[in-house]
Amino acid sequence: MDLIQASGAAATIGYIARRQNLGCLMRLLLSLMLLCCATAHGAEVALEDLTTIQVRAALSAGHTVAIVPVGGTEQNGPHMVLGKHNQRVRALAARIARELGNALVAPVLSYVPEGQISPPTEHMRHAGTLSIPDAAFKSVLAATGRSLKQHGFTEIVYLGDSGNYQHLLQEVAAGLNKEWAGRGARAHFIKEYYQAAQAPFMAALRAKGLSDAQIGSHAGAADTALLMALHPAGVHAQAMPRDMQQGASLGVRGDPRAASVELGQLGVDLIVTRSVAAIRQATSRP
């Protein structure tokens, strides 16, 4: 039993105790349960996998940071699933929340701006990509933040796995902070999450002998290695382009054949470490 499960059970017992007037005994049991589970590993942090009682108990126990992970549904060449960003940010947000120790993770937002729909631009030129307008995207993110604040979360953290909407996440956080000024909650755009997967990860890959051409900018070695480390079922190695020229014609910028789980883990470690540090710094400010 993990901390949040124990908290949920304790909250339920406490409710029954109040109804049955068994206060002293049940409060003692509640304290013992929380004490025994306070250092449990592998705690469930996904909001959608908890009950409302468990969420209430988690908030009471100090889990007042809410992470809003943003992914996307876009083409990733012939060898990676359309939900690459969703799978990555889901796994990374959970790891970040566990490292923080006081956070829960909202469901992944998988509908994001991906270019003009008709005539199609950017990734919309490839089958399966889904795109929504900027205004709709920002509205959903802001409403999500307001919902979390309403329930008692005081630090709303936005993490984005794709580069095309980073400025929109920043705008949403800034807008909520203006709206919430003096009202006991804050929104945070954590740019370090995305930035860690750029220059620092590329430098780590170069140190392992990869060229910039191999690393690439979309569905190449860097992109593919990250997904291999976090969701290997989403990578179809047998479908990788035979060379970079073929890859370019299929929406790939780089050479995914150079990717590996070990290389991807370098990026995972960078993203988690830098994001946790940035969130702690942001939420510790008065």
Between CA 94 and CA 101 the distance in angstroms is: 11
Higher pLDDT, residue 64 or 35? 64
pLDDT at 141: 98
In the numeric block, the tokens 């860690």 are attached to 196
Q: Return d(Cα 201, Cα 273) in angstroms, integer.
A: 12
**β strands within 147-205, DSSP E:** 155-160, 186-189
Q: What is the pLDDT of residues 196-230, one digit of tens each?
A: 999 999 999 999 999 999 999 999 999 999 999 99
Alpha carbon distance 123, 145 (integer Å):
28
Q: What is the pLDDT of residues 121-166, one digit of tens each?
A: 999 999 999 999 999 999 999 999 999 999 999 999 999 999 999 9
Residue 146 burial (C-beta neighbours within 10 Å; 0-12, 13-18, 19+)? middle
Burial of 266 (0-12, 13-18, 19+ CB in 10 A): buried
Q: Which two tokens stand for residue 133?
A: 């307008």
Share of the chain above pLDDT 90, in %: 84
